[in-house]
């Protein structure tokens, strides 16, 4: 068993170990305007209904767009889109029309008016089902009402933020530990 030598670590930096879920692009639409933001802070909250908690900073243009339209799409990009993903997260829809500026194609959703991003591996159409934590925590509780996922590859090369401008690109998948699971936890 590996033994680690440890040191005190600033609590404000621990996010770096917990953060690396895939970075996603949140697309929204309100009053004829569409927008995209980059998001790393999301949290799975329930299987069924399929609930996801998302932190959207109140200074972001997307904050009011998602709050007012009560819907958005969580798009999952792969490594090929990494440059756009960072650039989208470093400008605001107040100043930039992001679909055009980043050459991304909006596609009509089935259950929401917010556009899907065609170039992403997966698109999750979401409805805002609980606004009660927005004011205090900027936490949007979304229900995924429709999912569109590429047929292949089964394990896409998603990008995962490590903080400080560093990304991890998803790597090998193993079934080595699968037999240890209780079936209901699979």
Ligand X SMILES: Cc1cc2nc3c(=O)[nH]c(=O)nc-3n(C[C@H](O)[C@H](O)[C@H](O)COP(=O)(O)O)c2cc1C
Residue 58 DSSP SS3: coil
Per-residue x/- marks for ligand X, 98-137, CB under 6 A? ----------------------------------------
Per-residue x/- marks for ligand X, 155-174, CB under 6 A? ------x-------------
Asked if 30 touches ligand X (CB under 6 A), the answer is no
Rounded to 5 degrees, φ, ψ at 38 are -90, 140
Ranked by CB distance to ligand X, the top (closest) residue is 89
| Among residues 20, 22, 30, 39, the one that binds ligand X under rule CB under 6 A | 39
Asked if 89 touches ligand X (CB under 6 A), the answer is yes
Q: Is the link from the previous residue into 116 a cis peptide, with omega within 30 of 0?
A: no
| Among residues 27, 29, 34, 35, the one that binds ligand X under rule CB under 6 A | 35
As a dihedral over the C-alpha atoms of residue 83, residue 86, residue 88, residue 91, rounded to 10 degrees, the angle is -130
Taking contact as CB under 6 A, which single stretch among the options 54-62, 113-121, 125-133, 142-150 is the one that binds ligand X? 54-62
The sign of the torsion formed by the CA atoms of 63, 66, 24, 86 equals negative
Q: How far is CA 143 from CA 109, 135, 163, in A?
A: 15, 19, 27
Q: In the complex with ligand X, which residue's Cβ is closer, 25 or 116?
A: 25
Radius of gyration for the alpha carbons in the chain, expressed in angstroms and rounded: 17
Which of 148, 130, 128, 132 lies closest to 72 in space, CA to CA?
128
| Among residues 51, 82, 86, 145, the one that binds ligand X under rule CB under 6 A | 86
- CA dist 131 and 116 (Å) reads 22
Residues that bind ligand X (CB under 6 A): 23, 35, 37-41, 55-57, 60-62, 86, 89-93, 161
């Amino acid at each position: 068993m590996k033994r680690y030598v440890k040191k005190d670590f600033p609590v404000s930096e621990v996010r770096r170990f917990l953060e690396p879920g895939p970075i996603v692009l949140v697309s929204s639409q309100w009053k004829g305007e569409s927008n995209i933001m980059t998001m790393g802070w999301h949290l799975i909250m329930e299987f069924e209904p399929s609930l996801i908690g998302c932190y959207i900073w109140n200074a972001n243009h997307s904050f009011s767009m998602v709050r007012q339209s009560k819907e958005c799409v969580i798009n999952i990009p792969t490594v090929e889109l990494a440059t756009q993903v960072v650039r989208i997260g470093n400008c605001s829809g107040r100043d930039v029309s992001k679909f055009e500026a980043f050459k991304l194609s909006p596609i009509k959703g089935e259950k929401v008016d917010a556009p899907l991003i065609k170039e992403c591996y997966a698109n999750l159409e979401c409805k805002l089902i609980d606004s009660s934590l927005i004011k205090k925590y900027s936490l949007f509780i979304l229900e995924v009402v429709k999912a569109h996922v590429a047929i292949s590859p089964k394990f896409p090369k998603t990008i995962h933020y490590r903080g400080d401008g560093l990304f991890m690109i998803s790597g090998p998948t193993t079934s080595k530990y699968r037999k240890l699971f209780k079936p209901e936890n699979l």
